[in-house]
């Protein structure tokens, strides 16, 4: 993954502050974004399903 020098410095500083390797820190950060996206998608899908079920009930 390409980073600018400034971004890489910030990444190194943050990882060091947590006592972790850059690789472990970056991996966990990426996975947090992936998991949050999945959670938001699931939440939106549940909302649409509930709204659709309510609408179907009103139309029946």
How does pLDDT run across 4-58, given as a tens digit for each residue?
999 999 999 999 999 999 999 999 999 999 999 888 888 999 999 999 998 888 8
pLDDT for 15 equals: 97
Alpha-carbon Rg of the chain, whole angstroms?
20
The answer to whether residues 27 and 15 touch, using CB atoms and an 8 Å cutoff, is: no
pLDDT for 16 equals: 98
pLDDT for 35 equals: 93
Distance CA 43, CA 4 (A): 35
Query: Which residues touch 21 (CB under 8 Å, ≥6 apart)?
Result: 15
pLDDT for 58 equals: 84
pLDDT for 19 equals: 98
Q: Which domain holds residue 54?
A: 5-59
As for how many domains the chain has, the answer is 1
């Amino acid at each position: 993954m390409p980073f600018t020098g400034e971004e890489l410095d910030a990444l190194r500083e943050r990882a060091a502050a947590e006592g972790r390797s850059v690789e472990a820190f970056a991996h966990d950060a990426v996975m947090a974004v992936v998991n949050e996206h999945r959670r938001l998608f699931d939440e939106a899908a549940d909302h649409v399903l509930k709204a659709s079920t309510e609408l179907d009930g009103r139309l029946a």
